[in-house]
Structure 1
Amino acid sequence: MKYKLGDFVRFVDEKLEGYVTQIMDEQMIGVTVEDDFEIPVLASKVTYVHGHNEVVHTDDDILVPITTIAPADFKTKGVHVAVVPDAKANGLVHLYIVNETSYQLLASVVTEQQKAFKGEFAGAVDAHGAAKVYSAKLSDLQLWPKLHFQALFHTKQNQPLPEPLNVAEQFKAKDFSGAKKMVPVIKQQGWMIQIDEPELIIDAQKLKEAFFKPSETKPEITKPDAEIDLHIEKLRDDYQFLSSSEILAIQLDTFKKKLDAAVVHNMTEITFIHGTGNGILKHELHKLLSKNQKVQTFLDARKEKFGYGATLVMLK
């Protein structure tokens, strides 16, 4: 297969162009065009658009040249895998090795799927640099292979030689449950997973002492806003990975906590924005509200502002 995920291609027989967002087999690829619709097409029926949005880096996507580090500032920890959404191809993400250490990494990335192994990347990642090593569709997370990251640490300076890095990662939705943040070197928003973390050592004595500590004071309950938006994209950054049942559970849990907090703070009313959609969330909210002894009544919130997508709750 001469194409890879993220390539910009043009259809031979149609006036269409877009990004490669799926490699189906040796003959078929999926191309996502301007309206975010993915079209399956024979690889022979598209042509690569050379020079489109290309960014030229020295030494094949390896960023930031080697610099001499003062011994006192030499950093020995900080090897990450960064998962960064593609700025153009919707749903596509790129995996980078981000090296925040002062060592140069001699790195290898191999995928494993159904006992079949495939080398994806081999090269150097400079100190405080990064290299793109793999691309995949975010919606296919459950189909991603296991990725093996191996690296040797190299420096010309007088520094201890760390053990080679050998880590296998099978990414899951929980790895992306936190908020995205700015990825160093790449300067784009993404998720970062550190792969050179030291092994967790459990202190048995401290663990024993923890059992005999008095219960800590419960944290103060924060007063909720007057309007609570229950749309899942407002609640979780990893909503793309969640099933419909998981989304509903998260929305209902947020609803219950915010309603309880409103009661604690003696609020007289609170509005929950649930949208229209298929009506399931609204139905579940109304069912819970009808059984809550602290609720005086509930009704559709101001239609001129919310349409039929919000419920106003009046509290006793």
Structure 2
Amino acid sequence: MKYKLGEFVRFVEERREGYITRIIDDATIAVTDEDGFEIPVLASQVTRVHGQGADIQTENTPVQEAEFISNGIFLAAAPNKKAGSVMHIHLINTTSYQLLATLTTEKSHKFKGEFNGVIWSKSAVQMHSASLNELDHWPKFHLQVLLFASEGTELKKPIEFSEKFRAKDFSGAKKNTEYLDQPAWLIQLDSNEPIIDAQKLKGSFYKPPAENQQVENPGKEVDLHIEKIRDDHQFLDSTEILDIQVTYFRKSLDAAIVHKIPAIVFIHGSGNGTLRNEIYKVISKHPQVKTFMDAHKERFGYGGTEVFLK
């Protein structure tokens, strides 16, 4: 029996159930239970629980409308509502065209057909599912779309989209769409703008408003843990996380100097010491830093540094 990511299953020989969050191989899957533990199990040792599981797809039926809409074809990525470590890839057609689409994945120069079908006007279909925990191992996606209308329209060129998704492609804010019952990351495929501007996406989440140039007082303590800085931290790799933390530290240090704060504590955690070492590199040579030391060991252990300013 072949299972899909996001399906709800129950163990045959024990009282346990959960959502499929990883396909390990042809015979083995990984199920995440209600406590958040991912358990490898043979596919033969679980059974489907009907009425729950993978997201229900939008009904794909023709819609008649008076005004012809020629633009609005989107690729949408949305996490499973009940198993957040599973990402579903949808094709959304808000235009008046009928679409004929194929999705092929490429991994290690091997190609696999994942989806083919007609997407009617004003509808959406789910084409693929993948585990967010294995984002670095996702295949490259090749999507081809033909646009068809019976009469009275311009001839549109086929859409071809090829992309190897990375964590930075999901760093922008999710948007609501009436064709899915949850927010999703949207990529417009028929826009004149570049399909993915990675630098724009990467910087859009943490960009101060142009009209607000006032330096905010950082207070006496600044927590540099990534979950305190970015809501999308689960989609960032370790290099991006460190860059964001160091940038946030520098900004907070500059703000403390502007506001003439005599001392400020940076909470960086103990961890492997990488962030602490980066902080030490800056403050050990900074002309406005008088001295620094471990902060409140009874509270932070070696996970906090107090910086005294001139």
Q: Would you say same fold, with TM above 0.5? A: yes
1: CA distance, partners of 2:214 / 2:258: 8
Q: 1:233 to 1:63 in 2, by over 3 A?
A: farther
2:48 alignment partner in structure 1:
48
Q: 1:271 to 1:78 in 2, by over 3 A?
A: farther
Q: What SS does the corresponding residue of 2:184 show, helix, strand or coil? A: strand
Q: Deviations over 1:30-83 (max 9, x none)?
A: 222222222222211111112225766xxxx23475444343xx4322222111
1:213 alignment partner in structure 2:
none
Note if 1:258 corresponds to 2:258. Answer: no
Residue identity matched to 1:48: R
Q: Is the contact between residue 93 and residue 121 of structure 2 (CA under 8 Å) also seen in structure 1?
A: yes
- Work out which of the residue numbers 58, 61, 83 in structure 2 matches 1:62: 58
1:225 alignment partner in structure 2:
218
* Superposition map of 1:286-305 within 5 A: 286-298=280-292
Q: Deviations over 1:246-265 (max 9, x none)?
A: 42232112211221233245
Note if 1:34 corresponds to 2:34. Answer: yes
2: CA distance, partners of 1:10 / 1:193: 35
1:154 alignment partner in structure 2:
148
Note if 1:145 corresponds to 2:139. Answer: yes
* Superposition map of 1:80-229 within 5 A: 80-156=74-150, 158-198=152-192, 220=213, 222-226=215-219, 227-229=221-223
Q: Deviations over 1:82-106 (max 9, x none)?
A: 1111121241111111223332322
2: CA distance, partners of 1:292 / 1:184: 52
1: CA distance, partners of 2:297 / 2:176: 39
Q: What SS does the corresponding residue of 2:243 show, helix, strand or coil? A: helix
Residue identity matched to 2:40: P
Residue identity matched to 1:244: S
2:202 alignment partner in structure 1:
none
1: CA distance, partners of 2:4 / 2:254: 50
2: CA distance, partners of 1:12 / 1:254: 49
Q: Is the contact between residue 111 and residue 148 of structure 1 (CA under 8 Å) also seen in structure 2?
A: yes
1:13 alignment partner in structure 2:
13
Q: What SS does the corresponding residue of 1:180 show, helix, strand or coil? A: coil
1:215 alignment partner in structure 2:
none
Residue identity matched to 2:35: D
Q: Is the contact between residue 60 and residue 125 of structure 2 (CA under 8 Å) also seen in structure 1?
A: no
Q: 1:112 to 1:278 in 2, by over 3 A?
A: closer
1: CA distance, partners of 2:175 / 2:305: 33
CA RMSD of superposed structures (Å): 3.0
Residue identity matched to 1:21: T
Q: Is the contact between residue 178 and residue 237 of structure 1 (CA under 8 Å) also seen in structure 2?
A: no
Q: 1:163 to 1:15 in 2, by over 3 A?
A: same
Residue range with higher mean Cα deviation, 44-53 or 219-228 = 219-228
Equivalent pairs counted in the alignment come to: 291
1: CA distance, partners of 2:244 / 2:54: 40
2: CA distance, partners of 1:285 / 1:55: 44
Q: Is the contact between residue 62 and residue 125 of structure 1 (CA under 8 Å) also seen in structure 2?
A: no
1: CA distance, partners of 2:88 / 2:120: 19
- Work out which of the residue numbers 66, 71, 75 in structure 1 matches 2:69: 75
Q: Is the contact between residue 223 and residue 268 of structure 2 (CA under 8 Å) also seen in structure 1?
A: yes
Q: 1:36 to 1:193 in 2, by over 3 A?
A: same
Q: 1:231 to 1:100 in 2, by over 3 A?
A: farther
Q: What SS does the corresponding residue of 2:176 show, helix, strand or coil? A: strand
Q: Deviations over 1:172-228 (max 9, x none)?
A: 22212223333442132332222223376xxxxxxxxxxxxxxxxxx9463353253
1:208 alignment partner in structure 2:
none
1:203 alignment partner in structure 2:
none
